Amino acid sequence: MRHTPLCFIDQDKETAERNKDEVPEDQMGIRNLVHTEGIFESPIDLNIAKMKDINLPLLEWYNFEIPPKKMKVTNTGHTVIFSAKWGQERPYLEKGPFFGKYVFSNWHLHWGANEMEGSEHTVDGSHCPAEMHVITFKSSYLTQASALKEQDGCATLVYFFKLQDPPNPAFQVIIDALYDIQKAGTSKKLTPTNINNLLLKFESDYFFYWGTVSTTACTHYLMWLICRTPIAVSAEQIDALRFIFDENGNQLKRNFREVQPVNNRTVLHVCPSTSKYCTLLQPPVTQFFRSEDFSDRS
Ligand SMILES: [Zn+2]
């Protein structure tokens, strides 16, 4: 694995030692974790039993219900990335761990060669079959590229995928487009649909930690917010992802990174409001049935 220097690390080991058992009490406390604990790589294993509870203002979601004007899906050769353009202000998040507005940039997927792998983060030591990363950046930095250079520039929302029998209609829109972007570097325009159909809007009961993202030049700070409720999709839908090709014309069967040590990092459970028996909650299976799916059962 490639290791590049961290841009902003200036870890004060004495401070880290002094504060390691303290739980941050507010948004500023979360920000300070970077200075007291340092930053280590992502992804990590998530285990609710090892997390620290924290109460923060509820995460607020704006404009996610407004359909974009244009929507596109691209095979980058490493993943499938979805981008969109809005006629007005883009969707954004506020409050929770954030100071300021974090606007929606794009989202991409990670998957594996079979159903036993695929997610980047593991949950209690096990992989989920796929994981979606929704990239957001702080609007005051204007672009994602300039935001990446800042400590608080970018945040990734993490959604795990779990298998269910019926296909997820919101996810099928993406799957249907894959046939046209099998070659690396190709894109397809999509009929704009509400991105809300796929993203679960969580405002409490999620996980937070500081990690990193690597670019060719450097490794950057990144906030990770993990939704506790997985998205339910069918095994056939995940399997379709394995039939796109990388830059060498080979099937892109797996594109997830290895789990990294948590080290002394604090992983937070923000505003816990449901059971702590399991790290992830059950996906809301029935919400993905359309009315016609029930027509032959009545
Ligand atoms: Zn990713």
In a domain, residue 176? The reply is: yes
- The answer on pLDDT for 14 being more than 60 is no
Distance from residue 92's CA to the centre of ligand 1 (Å): 19
Mean pLDDT of 146-165: 94
Distance from residue 134's CA to the centre of ligand 1 (Å): 8
Mean pLDDT of 266-287: 86
In a domain, residue 11? The reply is: no
Residue recorded with tokens 């948590």: 262
Distance from residue 213's CA to the centre of ligand 1 (Å): 9
In a domain, residue 155? The reply is: yes
In a domain, residue 106? The reply is: yes
User: What domain count does the chain have?
Assistant: 1
Distance from residue 123's CA to the centre of ligand 1 (Å): 16
Q: What is the per-residue pLDDT across 214-252, written as a single tens digit (0 to 9) for each?
A: 766 677 889 999 999 999 999 999 999 999 999 999 999
User: 131: which residues sit within 8 A by CB, 6+ positions away?
Assistant: 109, 110, 111, 118, 119, 120, 121, 158, 159, 160, 161, 256
The residues pairing with 47 across neighbouring beta strands, listed in sequence order, are: none
Distance from residue 158's CA to the centre of ligand 1 (Å): 9
Distance from residue 294's CA to the centre of ligand 1 (Å): 35
The whole model's pTM is what?
Answer: 0.87
Structure tokens at 117: 């792998």
- CATH number, domain of 186, equals 3.10.200.10
Q: What range does the domain containing 281 cover?
A: 25-292
In a domain, residue 3? The reply is: no
Distance from residue 133's CA to the centre of ligand 1 (Å): 5
Q: Pick the residue with more confidence: 168 or 1?
A: 168
Query: What pLDDT score does 7 carry?
Result: 40
Share of the chain above pLDDT 70, in %: 86
Distance from residue 54's CA to the centre of ligand 1 (Å): 26
Share of the chain above pLDDT 90, in %: 69
Q: What is the per-residue pLDDT across 46-100, written as a single tens digit (0 to 9) for each?
A: 999 999 999 999 999 999 999 999 999 999 999 999 999 998 889 999 999 999 9
In a domain, residue 226? The reply is: yes
In a domain, residue 2? The reply is: no
In a domain, residue 60? The reply is: yes
Q: Pick the residue with more confidence: 264 or 252?
A: 252
Query: What pLDDT score does 214 carry?
Result: 72
CA 69 to each of CA 31, 136, 189, 192, 194: distance values in angstroms, whole numbers, following the listed order:
35, 19, 11, 6, 10
Mean pLDDT of 273-283: 90
- The answer on pLDDT for 12 being more than 70 is no
